[in-house]
Amino acid sequence: MVIGLLGLGTVGGGVYNLVNGRTDMSIKYVCCLEKPEGLTAILTSNFDDIVNDPEVDTVVEVMGGLHPAREFAIKAMSAGKNYVTANKLLIAECFQELTALAAEKGVALRCTAAAGGGIPWLTAIERCKRADTITSISGIMNGTTNYIMDTMHRQSVSFSDVLGQAQQLGYAEADPSADIDGKDIQNKCVISANVAFDVLLQKKDVPVFGIRNVTVQDIADFKEHGFCCKLIATAVRRSGKIAAFVEPTLVSGGRLEAAVPSNFNLITFNAENAGRQSYFGQGAGRYPTAYNVVEDLIDVAGGVRSFYTSDFTAAEVDNEMVAHQYYVRFAGTDPWLEELITEKWDCGVITKPVSVAQMHAWAKTAEEQDSQMFLAAIK
Ligand code: HSE
């Protein structure tokens, strides 16, 4: 296998080092802006050098971002090259276009590192579906936010201080608002749901509430009531419809999710026969992510010429079909919320069960009154 590698940052540097330790694949080109010390591959800033070289059979993209990643993916697969990427934004935004192109050209499109970092999550879904039907997926799919929530539960430190630590440790996205506002986990939720359910869910179908506004006082309230707060993505299939959403979630202390430390991820599917299967591991970081890129490359070298699934249908999205109680901290006044209150905690109130669609729609307008409001599902 001869590879053109796009990007030599945190993950790209890891891929470069791991591939260089192998004999079954080699990196012929590296496309990046600066020439690092000791690079043995050809350095180019022109992607066409890679596309036009017939010796290159596989392109690996670990630059991130939507452009020019989308254009590179289209060019590479159109030229008959396999495409392996960790770019979740690219796959979530261009899911239909890229999976269709890969199928048309008969090339591999693999992105295992895009959802779950170092966890073999998409491949586990792929395998499960050979013998079973997945009914739901859910979990902690963002290392930065888990690191923040875990640290804030252990020590009384402010949100912004912990975010700074996560950035220094290399977990956070270049723009960490993608992590804390839930956009990163939303991408992973879309990819996972589409692979699990053979649908074409889009990001607009998945309402998101992030953790930006959580306070030390909120966490003290959660702990006092025996809960731990995690940012969780969920997608459920019921009667042919899909509900999918991302929200801070209060889980009781005995749940597996409550025990997930540091930047780890814990992702679960439920299937009709297999029941619950949960995958725990490193969801971010240089070598865990690079490891999964290399696993994809090994699959492609072994003959895989596909995406994880095919025959997608449009998703019928219905976020009314899932309802639960919520913790809401809101400084404004709102009759709809008042009607729902069943209990008052120190900082926030607890609501009766309310649908995900209604709560997220309300939160959008409520944020205009109180930009610091916070909500969390209770499960
Ligand atoms: N910023 C992401 C995270 C990186 O924290 O999980 C891995 O996708």
Quick: pLDDT tens for 155-201: 988 898 999 988 888 888 878 899 999 999 999 999 999 999 999 99
Could you identify the atom of ligand 1 that is nearest to the CA of residue 113?
8
Question: Is the pLDDT reported for residue 37 higher than 90?
Answer: no
List phi, psi (to 5°) of 298.
-65, -40
Separation of CA 244 and ligand 1 centre (Å) = 20
Give the residue among 100, 42, 94, 55 at the shortest CA–CA distance from 71: 94
Atom index in ligand 1 nearest the CA of residue 179 equals 1
Residue to substitute in 112, 121, 142, 189 for testing ligand 1 pocket (most ligand atoms within 8 angstroms of CB): 142
| pLDDT tens figures, 339-355 | 999 999 999 999 999 99
pLDDT at 132 over 90: yes
The 3-class SS string of the chain reads CEEEEECCCHHHHHHHHHHHCCCCCEEEEEECCCCCCCCCCEEECCHHHHHCCCCCCEEEECCCCCCCHHHHHHHHHHCCCEEEECCHHHHHHCHHHHHHHHHHHCCCEECHHHCCCCCCHHHHHHHHHHHCCEEEEEEECCHHHHHHHHHHHHCCCCHHHHHHHHHHCCCCCCCCHHHHCCHHHHHHHHHHHHHHHCECCCHHHCCECCCCCCCHHHHHHHHHCCEEEEEEEEEEEECCEEEEEEEEEEEECCCHHHHCCCCEEEEEEEECCCEEEEEEEECCCHHHHHHHHHHHHHHHHCCCCCCCCCCCECCEECCCCCEEEEEEECCCCCHHHHHHEEEECCCCEEECCEEHHHHHHHHHHHHHHCCCCEEEEEC
The atom number, within ligand 1, closest to the CA of 171 reads: 5
Please choose from 179, 187, 260, 282 the residue to mutate so as to test ligand 1's pocket, defined by most ligand atoms within 8 A of CB: 179
Using pLDDT thresholds of 50, 70 and 90, give the confidence band for residue 117: very high
Atom of ligand 1 nearest to the CA of 86: 8
Residue 139 clears pLDDT 90, i.e. is over it: yes
- What is the number of other CB atoms lying within 10 angstroms of the CB of residue 220? 16
Whole-number Å distance between alpha carbons of 89 and 91: 6
Active site residue 204: no
Confidence of residue 33 (pLDDT cuts 50, 70, 90): confident
Average pLDDT over the chain reads: 96
Beta strands 82-85 and 341-344, pairing class: unpaired
264 close to ligand 1 (CB < 6 Angstrom): no
Give residue 172's Cα distance to chain centre. 12
* Residue 61 CB less than 6 A away from ligand 1: no
pLDDT tens for each residue of 324-339: 999 999 999 999 999 9
Q: Atom of ligand 1 at shortest distance to CA of 284?
A: 7
C-alpha of residue 360 to centroid of ligand 1, in Å? 24
CB-based contact 191:91 (threshold 8 Å): yes
Cβ(218) to ligand 1 under 6 A? no
CB of 181 within 6 A of ligand 1: the answer is: no
224-262 pLDDT, tens digit per residue, is 999 999 999 999 999 999 999 999 999 998 999 999 999
How far apart CA 9 and CA 152 sit, in angstroms, is: 29
pLDDT in tens, 44-90: 999 999 999 999 999 999 999 999 999 999 999 999 999 999 999 99
Any ligand 1 atom below 6 A from CB of 184: yes
pTM attached to this predicted model: 0.97
Dihedral pair phi/psi, residue 46, rounded to 5° = -115, 110
**267 Cα: distance to centroid of ligand 1 (angstroms):** 14
**Does 182 contact ligand 1 (Cβ within 6 A)?**
no
CA distance 156 to 182: 23
Angle separating helix axes 69-78 and 95-105, nearest 10 degrees: 20
Q: Which of 188, 203, 223, 230 is catalytic?
A: 188
Instruction: Decide: 213 in ligand 1 pocket, CB within 6 A.
Output: no
- CB 119 less than 6 A from any atom of ligand 1: no
For residues 141 and 280, the answer to whether their CB atoms sit within 8 Å is: no
For residue 125, what are the CA distances in angstroms to 27, 38, 80, 143, 322? 29, 39, 26, 20, 23
The pLDDT, as a whole number, for residue 326 is 99
Q: Is the CB of 173 under 6 A from ligand 1?
A: yes
The rounded distance, in Å, linking the Cα atoms of 140 and 234 is 9
Position 35 pLDDT exceeds 90:
no
pLDDT of residue 171: 81
